[in-house]
Structure 1
Amino acid sequence: MTLPEFDPAYGLWGLGLYSLLAATLLPGGSELALYAFLRQEPNLVFAALGVSTVGNTLGGMLSWWAGRYLPRWQKLERLPYLAAFQRWGSSVLLLSWLPLVGDAFCVAAGWLRLHWLPCCLFMAIGKFVRYWLVAQTALPH
């Protein structure tokens, strides 16, 4: 009896789902998942970068949406990172990939009612650059 061949498309679906969940308040390291995937399937680098970026950005937008619809129970003066958002606006979300504070940035952007489109674009750019750097370390040279 032989084992069935592994279809890399299933791995891409898993990578996308894991990247989405890792961008929410759930713990997880999507960088490690991307690294491991690319060590096994280096020929799928562009697909893996796209899937990871889209999944992680969708997860960040879920956090933005959660912040958008949270009740305004806290005064603006006490909101974490308020000064950064007042100075830089949605471009702060270029750093939404950072551990711990990245999720808070996404929630804060939603709570501050920043427009979703620039938030989504800045999130995607920051997350793509981070994944691209991970891919550079994972791929054989």
Structure 2
Amino acid sequence: MAELSLALAAFFAATILPFSSEAAFLVALSNGMPIANALLSASIGNILAIIVNYYLGVFLYEKTKAKLFRSKIGKRSYSFGHKYGYFALLLSWLPIVGDPLTLVAGLVRLKFVWFVIIAGSLRVLRYYFLTFL
């Protein structure tokens, strides 16, 4: 049950609620949850959340593409995001800026597989490094 709570906390922290999944992760560890269980639960919840963010970006693209491509700035912004989006995903593990980057990844239509590999592995690594605290 504690694992499910941690997964849900990690999920909601990466989508709609303004709180820290890292804090929930550290609390779970301090309450005696095995490291492997905490790492797996938090990672699954967080990765599922960034996938939701990605597809929300895809949905927003479908709804706004006509308006986006009508302006010169919109075309340039899309091109810039598509060209440098994978590099920007290297910052997706950061608090505050990371979750919006996962939404933008869907908006600029980055390849889903590479998105999950880059952003997902960074989320797992973030929790892994927190285990040393």
Q: TM-score, normalized by length of structure 1?
A: 0.78
- What pairs with 1:38-57 in structure 2 (closer than 5 Å)? 38-42=29-33, 44-57=34-47
Matched-pair identity in %: 28
Which residue is equivalent to 1:98? Answer: 94
- What pairs with 1:4-15 in structure 2 (closer than 5 Å)? 10-15=1-6
Regions of 4+ moved over 3 Å: 82-85
SS at match of 2:132: helix
Which residue is equivalent to 2:76? Answer: 77
Taking only aligned residues, the RMSD between alpha carbons, in angstroms, comes to: 1.9
Highest Rg: 1 or 2?
1
- What are structure 1's unaligned runs of at least 5 residues? 1-9
Match for 1:108: what amino acid?
V
| Contact 1:93–1:126 under 8 Å retained in 2 | no
- What are structure 2's unaligned runs of at least 5 residues? 69-73
Of Structure 1 and Structure 2, which has the larger fraction of its residues in helix? 2
CA distance in 2, matches of 1:77, 1:101: 21
CA distance in 2, matches of 1:107, 1:76: 18
CA distance in 1, matches of 2:117, 2:51: 10
CA distance in 2, matches of 1:76, 1:111: 13
Which residue is equivalent to 1:134? Answer: 130
Aligned length: 124
